[in-house]
C-alpha cells in the first residue's frame, strides 16, 4: 500500500541508499526522477537530492500533477549508479481541489 498526499501539497522525498553489504551509502550526489500525469499526459522531472544526516531529501511541489499515481526512481550520482530505489505514492483531490495548476 502506498502513501497518499493531497494534490497541491509539497511532498518530501526522502531516501536512503545501501551498498551490497547493506551498509548506508552516502555518495557525492543523488537525483530522483518523478513521473506523473499532467492533463492526462505523462510528464517527468529530475530533482537533485540533498544529503541530510543519512537521508537524501528533496521537496516536490505536487500542484503540477493530476491526482493519481506518482512514480519515483532515485539513484546515486555518476554514470553507473551504485545504488537506486523505486517507490510510488498517490495524489488525492476532491472536487474543490480543481487542479488549476495542472491546466
Residue 56: what pLDDT?
96
Among 71, 75, 31, smallest CA distance to 49 is for 31
- Whole-angstrom CA distances from 36 to 6, 24, 69, 99 are 14, 29, 7, 14
Instruction: Give the number of domains in the chain.
Output: 1
> Where residue 1 falls among pLDDT bands split at 50, 70, 90?
low
**100 in any annotated domain:** no
Antiparallel, parallel or unpaired: β 24-25 and 84-92: unpaired
Asked if the model's pLDDT at residue 103 lies above 50, the reply is no
pLDDT in tens, 32-83: 999 999 999 999 999 999 999 889 999 999 999 999 999 999 999 976 678 9
Q: Which domain holds residue 84?
A: 3-91
Terminal Cα-to-Cα distance of the chain (whole angstroms): 29
Asked if the model's pLDDT at residue 26 lies above 90, the reply is no
Residue 100: what pLDDT?
59
Looking at residue 25, which CATH number applies to its domain? 2.60.40.1930
SS percent in the chain: helix, strand, coil, step 5: 5, 55, 35
**60 in any annotated domain:** yes
Residue 19: what pLDDT?
87
**57 in any annotated domain:** yes
Asked if the model's pLDDT at residue 102 lies above 60, the reply is no
Asked if the model's pLDDT at residue 86 lies above 80, the reply is yes
Amino acid at each position: 500500500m502506498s502513501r497518499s498526499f493531497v494534490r497541491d501539497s509539497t511532498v518530501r522525498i526522502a531516501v536512503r541508499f545501501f551498498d551490497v553489504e547493506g551498509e548506508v551509502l552516502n555518495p557525492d550526489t543523488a537525483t530522483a526522477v518523478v513521473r506523473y500525469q499532467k492533463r492526462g499526459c505523462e510528464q517527468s522531472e529530475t530533482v537533485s537530492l540533498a544529503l541530510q544526516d543519512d537521508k537524501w531529501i528533496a521537496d516536490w511541489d505536487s500542484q503540477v500533477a493530476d491526482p493519481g499515481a506518482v512514480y519515483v526512481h532515485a539513484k546515486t550520482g555518476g554514470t553507473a549508479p551504485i545504488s537506486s530505489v523505486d517507490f510510488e505514492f498517490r495524489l488525492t483531490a476532491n472536487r474543490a481541489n480543481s487542479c488549476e495548476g495542472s491546466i
